């Protein structure tokens, strides 16, 4: 019964009955049970939203941009932002043209903004392990490290405006709240919804790959 209610909620949120069914099947019974436990009532739980209400630009004190995937260069050696992060930079630039606030951006988007001459962007990049390997930077890690870098720069985040992929945005808000930040989606800008089939991160190549991963991550936010 609860699984049926979950499927109906996801169908409404995602606007895609087949995708809702696919996501639940991909998660499996154990993860679905964890998701339901974290969510409580699947009909009303904010943990399951994919359509957060936008807020006016005037209430936003800082802009935080979460990357979505990336690409390898032609040699397969160097990571580059890729088209979705370029679209995120476009969305951020549209906001900043109307309201200039401090910007904290994951490096893939920060690089694009820097190339366009948008100065003062705090770039949040991954750390490197003792063996020289790059440590994956999660959504939670972006907010944690971004908050530390902002504090070092003397920036009070205030009310945080989040720019992210449309399917990632709601979890970004949940993650920001878990980190103690007051976060909203800015009104008046179009969050990118396209996926990049050539992304270096397999879960960001298609919607049916991303949604199950996204829901699994939400089990830790309830």
pLDDT one-digit tens code per residue, 66-85: 999 999 887 767 889 999 99
d(CA 146, CA 124) in angstroms, rounded, equals 6
User: Could you report the per-residue pLDDT of 109-124, keeping only the tens digit for each?
Assistant: 999 999 998 988 999 9
The domains of the chain are located at 1-48+203-222, 54-191
Distance, in Å, from the CA atom of 176 to the CA atom of 166, rounded to the nearest integer, reads 16
Confidence of residue 134 (pLDDT cuts 50, 70, 90): confident
DSSP, residue by residue, 152-203? HTT----EEEEE--TTTHHHHHHHHHHTT-EEEEETTS-------TT-SSGG
Q: What pLDDT shows up at residue 64? A: 98
The residue to which tokens 């992210």 are assigned: 164
Spatial distance between the Cα atoms of 152 and 138, rounded to a whole number of angstroms: 21
What would the pLDDT profile of 7-35 be if each residue is shown by its tens digit?
999 999 999 999 999 999 999 999 999 99
Q: State the pLDDT confidence band at 145, using cuts at 50, 70 and 90.
A: very high
54-191 maps to CATH 3.10.450: no
- Mean predicted confidence (pLDDT) in 123-137: 81
Binned at pLDDT 50, 70 and 90, residue 167 comes out as very high
Residue 128 has pLDDT above 90, yes or no: no
Average pLDDT of the residues of the chain:
94
Q: At residue 129, does pLDDT exceed 90?
A: no
Return the exposure string of 156-169: e unless at least 16 CB atoms fall within 10 Å of the residue's CB, then b. Answer: ebeebbbbbbbbbb
Q: Is residue 6 scored above 80 in pLDDT?
A: yes
The pLDDT value recorded for residue 199 is 96
Quickly state the pLDDT bin for 65 (edges 50, 70, 90).
Answer: very high
């Amino acid at each position: 019964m609860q699984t049926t209610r979950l499927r109906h909620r996801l169908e409404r949120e995602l606007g895609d009955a087949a995708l809702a069914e696919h996501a639940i099947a991909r998660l499996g019974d154990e993860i679905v049970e964890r998701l339901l436990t974290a969510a409580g009532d699947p009909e009303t739980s904010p943990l399951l939203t994919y359509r957060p209400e936008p807020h006016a630009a005037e209430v936003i004190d800082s802009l935080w941009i979460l990357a979505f995937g990336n690409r390898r260069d032609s040699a397969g050696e160097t990571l580059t932002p890729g088209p979705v992060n370029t679209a995120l930079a476009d969305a951020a630039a549209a906001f900043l043209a109307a309201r200039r606030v401090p910007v904290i951006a994951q490096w893939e988007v920060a690089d694009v903004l820097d190339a366009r001459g948008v100065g003062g962007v705090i770039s949040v990049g991954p750390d490197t392990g003792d063996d020289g390997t790059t440590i994956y930077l999660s959504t939670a890690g972006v907010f944690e490290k971004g908050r530390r870098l902002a504090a070092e720069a003397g920036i009070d985040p205030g009310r945080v405006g989040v720019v992210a992929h449309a399917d990632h945005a709601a979890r970004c808000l949940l993650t920001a709240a878990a980190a103690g930040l007051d976060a909203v989606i800015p009104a008046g800008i179009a969050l990118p919804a396209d996926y990049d089939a050539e992304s270096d991160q397999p879960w960001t190549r298609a919607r049916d790959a991303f949604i199950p991963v996204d829901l699994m991550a939400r089990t830790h936010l309830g």
